[in-house]
Amino acid sequence: MNLENAAQLGEMLGGLAIVFTLLFGWRQVMEVNRNRRYQISQTIANSLENPLVQRGFATFGSAISKDSTLEELMALTREQKDATNALIVLMANHAIMTFNRNLSFEIVYSFYKGYLSLIGPSMRRQMTLVEMGYSMAEQSGVTKEDGIGMFHWVFWLLDKLEEHDDAKQYKPHLNQKDWKP
């Protein structure tokens, strides 16, 4: 083998090494992303399993309606008020993380889709009435113009979730019969 052929063989092997390194790096990035999605899903699932959050869902589904009055909201038990607040704070956190792309919208949508019709209208009503009440109290510092910031993140998330339509998420027990692991 002459020197020129050896140099060409060396270049070829170097090129193959670069290609294999790139493929290995690409595989590693894919694995990291898969693990990140799993961790995100697990974090959301764990936060939604919190008993206080679950009571918040139940309160929005049964004790508060889209027509509730401020007096009816004030008549809720302390536990119901704490539970609805816990759910609003959780959703505000998920909204901010989704907006900043720390959470995948698709994952958030999958977790909240089933709750939207149950909690959306009553949650909007409660946040609107509470914000209105605070804006009328001078000592609160809440103005009509600014409102309560975390409420507006929840409004944003509810809007985005309601706008999005993914047929795969609708009645998966019927629409995903052909799904295979």
Do 26 and 71 share a structural domain?
A: no
Do 96 and 10 share a structural domain?
A: no
Do 135 and 83 share a structural domain?
A: yes
pTM of the shown model = 0.76
Q: pLDDT tens-digit profile of 105-145?
A: 999 999 998 888 889 999 999 999 988 888 777 777 777 77
Do 55 and 43 share a structural domain?
A: no
Last residue of a domain, one of 10, 33, 49: 49
- The pLDDT score that the predictor gives to residue 1 is 67
Do 64 and 111 share a structural domain?
A: yes
Cα(175)–Cα(177) distance, rounded to whole angstroms? 6
Do 154 and 96 share a structural domain?
A: yes
pLDDT(162) > 80 = yes
- The pLDDT score that the predictor gives to residue 108 is 92
Per-residue pLDDT, averaged over 144-160, amounts to 87
Domain tally, the chain: 2
Do 146 and 78 share a structural domain?
A: yes
Cα(55)–Cα(72) distance, rounded to whole angstroms? 17
**What sign does the CA torsion over 89, 70, 134, 148 have?**
positive
For 103, the domain range is 51-169
Do 125 and 55 share a structural domain?
A: yes
